[in-house]
A and B are shown apart, each in its own frame.
Chain A
Amino acid sequence: QKEVEQNSGPLSVPEGAIASLNCTYSDRGSQSFFWYRQYSGKSPELIMSIYSNGDKEDGRFTAQLNKASQYVSLLIRDSQPSDSATYLCAACPMDTGRRALTFGSGTRLQVQP
């Protein structure tokens, strides 16, 4: 069973702090990784993708990938109450062109004003 694991939370951080969200995956064939944000009652929204080991920064968001440890993380700097949502980690194998995403169950983030 190819799995993506996330701590369900809730992760509570004060406004302005750094929120750190973590994800591990079991399929070593996974090559592409994504972070989605999902507000309650809404569909997932893609916020970051990462394909290579190391860090990738986009505004207040930094994704980190360590394929040797099978570990992906998302850092949110200067957290805002509007960042309160469930964050889904997804992995995608690079095989035969099929791009089926395997999702974790998500981590609920609460940013306290």
Chain B
Amino acid sequence: ETGVTQSPTHLIKTRGQQVTLRCSSQSGHNTVSWYQQALGQGPQFIFQYYREEENGRGNFPPRFSGLQFPNYSSELNVNALELDDSALYLCASSLAGLRDASYEQYFGPGTRLTVT
């Protein structure tokens, strides 16, 4: 167990709807990254939050947005859902700072999103 939690576990939405996914980072970690994993593929980086600000973004459209809260938990919001958004959404927590020596990211269990 990594100590990273995500909710909900599964979600079914209709095309055009909006969805919010949640993540609580591991105790002591201050950075949350979100990834999308399609079936049979490796995870694709969506964006990363560090100290409540977006700290880098992958090749995803603006309808993918996020937030990080003072307790370092995070949300991923997706608007105008498309069929291709069906995937496993993973959040990963890590520790960043002046003297951290690790780039290791620890994943939560994921949220399986199905768009019909």
Contact = CB atoms under 8 A, between A and B. Distances in A.
Interface string B91-102: 010101000001
A60 to B, nearest CB: 19
Given A42-B109, A45-B107, A46-B106, A99 B42 contact: no
Given A43-B110, A99-B94, A49 B103 contact: yes
B109 A99 contact: no
A113 B115 CA distance: 39
Interface residues of A, number: 26
Interface residues of B, number: 29
Contacts of B24: none
Interface string A16-44: 00000000000000001010100000111
Contact of B102 (A44, A49, A103, A105): A49
A101 B48 CA distance: 10
B105 A101 contact: yes
Specify which of B35, B105, B107, B109 lies most central, judged by the most chain A CB atoms within 10 Å of its CB. B105
Interface in A53-75: none
B109 A97 contact: no
Interface string A91-108: 010101111111111100
Specify which of A45, A90, A100 lies most central, judged by the most chain B CB atoms within 10 Å of its CB. A100
A98 B56 contact: yes
Contacts of A4: 42
A109 interface: no
Interface in B28-52: 31, 33, 35, 40-45, 48, 50
Interface of B: 2, 31, 33, 35, 40-45, 48, 50, 55-56, 58, 88, 90, 92, 94, 96, 102-110
Interface of A: 4, 32, 34, 36, 42-46, 49, 51, 88, 90, 92, 94, 96-106
